[in-house]
Chain A
């Protein structure tokens, strides 16, 4: 079965750029989405179709996807961005989520 691999944790200082990767076999041939989940809350879509932001998502969130790796980039990271982030892709008619990355803003 298809698998997406994320680093368990990423740390960033406030105001700096955070990058969270998601690796999967030929992932660049598929569309990747990203979700943010804060403690006690439901997940929220922050990036879809590799690079697009839903309405209401700040411009500091961006995405890319090429080769075997999709990347979520948060520019000028703020304390409110501290959360778990999950990548997601489709494999035939099934859905795959990455294992999640805990972003810590130090």
Chain B
């Protein structure tokens, strides 16, 4: 069964750091596009970061320079290292597998259950 399970969320003070994990099963993270998407309480979806085509990465402007996406192929796990956390980073963080359909067509087809990050003093 294809599955993503996030972990690592919690309560952290502003300026602190946290590392989220996303364990994949049923497929290999090294062979696909995979992404982090977050959702602040009561708000919409916000794309955070993506890793693709080997080790290429991209980030939303709101997290660039503070967050780092990476993966451990031996553990089939995706990570999101979050530094210099701000109150506005408070959200449920989802990892999602991105399916490439050809051309410039992609879809976030598999989602994890999410992990909550609360940044507060």
A residues sitting closer than 8 Å to B (CB atoms) are: 1, 30-31, 33, 35, 37, 42-45, 48-49, 52, 54, 84, 86, 88, 90, 93-100
Contacts and interface: CB of A to CB of B under 8 A. Distances in A.
Contacts of A84: 44
Nearest to B53: A93
Contacts of B99: 48
Given A49-B105, A84-B44, 5 more contacts: A45-B109, A48-B105, A88-B45, A94-B47, A95-B47
B104 A30 contact: yes
A68 B56 CA distance: 30
A96 B44 CA distance: 11
A43 B94 contact: yes
Given A42-B94, A44-B111, A90 B104 contact: yes
Q: What are the 5 A-B residue pairs with the smallest beta carbon separation, nearest first?
A: A48-B107, A95-B47, A100-B44, A42-B111, A31-B105
A86 B43 CA distance: 12
Interface string B82-103: 0000000000001010010101
Question: Dominant SS at the A interface?
Answer: strand
Nearest to A48: B107
A97 B101 contact: no
A31 B44 CA distance: 20
Given A42-B114, A94-B47, A31 B109 contact: no
Contact of A42 (B47, B60, B104, B113): B113
B35 interface: yes
B27 interface: no
A30 B47 CA distance: 17
B60 to A, nearest CB: 7
Given A42-B114, A43-B94, A54-B107, A97 B45 contact: yes
